[in-house]
Structure 1
Amino acid sequence: MSDDENIPDAATAQRLIKEFEGVTNTNEALAQQLLQEHDWNLNQALDTFFTNKVKEQDHEMALQIHLQSNQQSSSSQIPISIEEGLKEGILTTQAPEELTVISWNIDGLDVKNIRKRTKGVCKIIEDEKADIVFLQEVIPETLEYIKSKLSGFEVIRGIQGDYFVATLLRWGRVYKDASRLIPFTGSVMGRHLLHVEAHCGQVKLDLLNTHLESTAEHADERVAQLKQSFRIINNTAPARNVLFGGDLNLRDKELASCGGAPDGSRDCWEQCGSRQAVRYTWDMTRNTNLEWAGKFKPKCRFDRLYLKPSRAFACSAVHFGLVGLQKIHGTQSFPSDHWGLMLKLKLNQNS
């Protein structure tokens, strides 16, 4: 039982409860219970909450928030607790006002320079301080390498298979609540959608990462997969923000055949100004990873992100750019034959 002298005044207690709720996305009763058990020490209450959450999910990595030094290799990373992370300033009880998202087909099916290319992808993800990452064309070998290099992320993989999508969430910034796999039953390429429910403070997120059927001859199946994805977006609760995207292999006429984007959702490239310099994500006029016979070099906007904001605690797209535009040092290869998408999301933590 806590001593009376450790009980804060009503205003302080209410502030601590609200901060606990904001970080954990829980209710007032649980916040008050854990804070009382820890003499209203917010750091200790948070540490207990996340420790218990890990035990429930049987996920031994969830408390491995890693310190990373620019002068140290990944083998020297130091695992720390939530409380230590708060003291070091790596974590904060204040939910972030902005998140960085990267979506990227990393071309795992091309074996040329694959380790160096994957290393380059990981470096860009860290350099850009990404919080949410949608990857497509991940293979088992690159998945293990990504896990070893990006140990500050929770990695949720798609289907078991030769290649798949994976969604990464940065520990201490975005918290996974649930996930599910949705196979596209008509796919001949093993394509699927990975649906991750997460939260960042008060902002609730439905993250839909996919790689739709490739090539022009599979347009009908691709449109069917797009319609299925749009139905999921339309059925999402209004209180949740939906971010949908990946390598959609999409042509504008195919989007039009579906009636356009779902009600309330926007193409993030368009929302951020439709800048022509960052329009094309598969651009054979600039990217030389693939050989293309003939003088005509195609460029397409295959990779896209769509955002449907919630009615409260919403997020909005404020900047759209591309990553992976430089060749890997010591090679003639870019990280992928696709440019990666980088999106900045502004979060409204106030109802």
Structure 2
Amino acid sequence: MSTTMIGLDIAKSVFQVHAADAIGEVQLRRKLRRDELIPFFEGLPRCTVIMEACGAAHHWARVLGGLGHEVKLIAPETVRPFVKRGRKNDAADAAAICAAASRPDVRFVPAKSVEQQGVLALHSARALLVKQQTMLANALRGLATEFGLVAPQGMGRLEELVALVAADGTFPEQARGAFAGLLEQCRAIAERIEALEAKIVAHARRSDTARRLATVPGIGPITASLIAATIGGNIGAFRSARHFAAWLGLVPRQHSTGGKTRLGRITKAGDRQIRTLLVLGATSMVYRAVAWNSAAGAWTRGLLARRPVRLVTVALANKMARIAWALMTRDEVYRAEGRSAAASTATA
């Protein structure tokens, strides 16, 4: 029988091919170098190519799709159970990809376009620089604390610490030089972050989906741009709002047995960056819940009266994710319910 499905395990220089026919019989196992991959698929009849979803997989999906093949991406956690214990190698990974893709209930990951990956590159670079900025700020605070100088928390209060160091005549010159070097690097990173955020906001203004998402309380242009670039036009892949929230890891873990339901902490599956931004946005809305005059604000205040703040924050992030799914599915903007007439007039 002819080959109908190929499991392709990709890497930087070595690619493993596992070809199977319609009934799952192995037709070919082969290792390819990077320069051999495209000629191999050019000489192959049209078939379905399955790869684990990763950054490079989207590039190869576009390349192999241009050669006429049907390319599908599958989540790595879906493949992992099919790798035989003690036989973790490239050939076994490619075979496991085929086995996982053959399951009737498998769900595939949409391949991203060049434009989507370009915007996501801005978000990835910003996330890295924000992490480095936090590390440098902590290093500055730690260095100053060694000499008895402290300032309130927050990146915006860092200049107060700089002023304290400048005014302290007992601060050693060696430490002052180290502090100045770290401060210079921190300020340079802040400028790069600002430049990246300007580009991200520009994308949020151009994207219809991002503009709709930005109408949700707690979702700003950066979060809206990230969701729009990640999901694109593939929101239909999620059957319901709960499936979307579950994909983001904002639903509780289940430890149920014998008909008894036990729920734990959130799964933290899916896209970590989107989940983090949603939780940060929800945190800001929880702090201003007293003045949040809408049905969502009343729901948040009622939950705060019964539950810890952190739990309410995650619950609100879950609600925001579900609202985002509804807006993307229906092509609508967010309309707050339960607002008083005075509050609506003031907002207008």
The TM-score, its normalising length taken from structure 2, stands at 0.24
Greater relative contact order (CA < 8 Å, ≥ 6 in sequence):
1
TM-score by length of 1: 0.24
Q: Pick the structure with greater CA Rg.
A: 2
